[in-house]
Structure 1
Amino acid sequence: MNKIFYLKTCDTCKRILKELNLDGVELQEIKSQEISTIQLEEMHILSGSYEALFSKRAQLYKSRGLKEMNLYEEDYKNLILETYTFLKRPVAIVEGKIFIGNSKKNIEALKIALG
C-alpha cells in the first residue's frame, strides 16, 4: 500500500501533494488521525532510525529545550508519538520504500516512485 503522512495546515505539504500523482495513494492527515505505534514502527524499520523521522525544525523542539539535550532513539520515538509536530513531513511509503521530508532531492525521487 502506498501512503503519505502529511499535515493539512503545512503549506509545504500542500504544495508537494499538488505536484504528485496520487492515484492509488492513501493520505493520512497526522493532526486529525494520529500516527499509531505500529505505523511509526513500520517507518522506523524502513528508515533505520527514529531520529531520521524526527523534525528538529519543530517549534516545540526549541521551546522545550530539546536542542540542548542528548536525545536517544527511544526519546525520538516517544516524542513523535506524543505530538504530530515532531514528525518530519511529509513521510511517504511507496512500494516498500520510505521518503522522509521535503528536500528537493527526496521529492524528485518520490515523484519518480509514484510515476
Structure 2
Amino acid sequence: MKKIYHLSTCKTCQRIIGELNGGEGFVLQDIKTEPITEAQLQEMYDMAGSYEALFTRRSRKYRAMGLHEQELGEADYKRLILEEYTFLKRPVVVVEDEIFIGNSKSVVAAAAEKAGIN
C-alpha cells in the first residue's frame, strides 16, 4: 500500500506530493475532507511507535488551547489527533510497511527512495 495523508490547502504538502511523482501510484487522503479514522491512526501508530511522533506542535490550536502549558501523554496525543486534523504532522507517507512523517528533506527523500521514485 502506498498512501499519503495530507492537506490539499497546504503548499508544503502540495510540493511534496509533486516531488513524489504528483502522487501517482499513491492513495491520497485529504485529512480535512476525509478525517482519519481511529483504525488508520492505530495503523500509523503501529509503524511509528508513538502518537507523539505523529503529533505536531506547530498547529495554531496547540497554543490557543493552552496545550503548551500541559504535560501530554500518548492517550492525549491520540485523542487530540482524532479530534482535530491540524494536530497530525503532515504529510504522512506510508509505503508498504514503512511510515515517513513530516516534511524534512531527509524524510521526503527516504519516502521517494522507498517508493522507487528518483
Q: TM-score range by the shorter chain?
A: over 0.9
CA distance in 2, matches of 1:52, 1:30: 17
**1:7-26: CA deviations, max 9, x gaps?**
01111001111111233210
**1:74-115: CA deviations, max 9, x gaps?**
000000000100000000110110000001110110111111
CA distance in 1, matches of 2:93, 2:41: 12
CA distance in 1, matches of 2:14, 2:26: 15
Secondary structure of residue in 2 paired with 1:113:
helix
Deviates more, 1:3-12 or 1:13-22: 13-22
Counterpart of 1:31 in structure 2: which amino acid? K
2:83 corresponding residue in structure 1:
82
Counterpart of 1:63 in structure 2: which amino acid? A
2:65 corresponding residue in structure 1:
64
Cα RMSD between the aligned structures?
A: 0.7
1:8 corresponding residue in structure 2:
8
2:104 corresponding residue in structure 1:
103
**2:94 pairs with 1:93:** yes
Secondary structure of residue in 2 paired with 1:98:
strand
**TM-score (ref. length: structure 2):** 0.95
Structure 1, unaligned runs of 5 or more: none
CA distance in 2, matches of 1:56, 1:113: 27
Aligned residues: 115
2:52 corresponding residue in structure 1:
51
CA distance in 2, matches of 1:88, 1:36: 15
Query: What's the % identity of the aligned pairs?
Result: 55
CA distance in 1, matches of 2:19, 2:52: 27
CA distance in 2, matches of 1:72, 1:51: 8
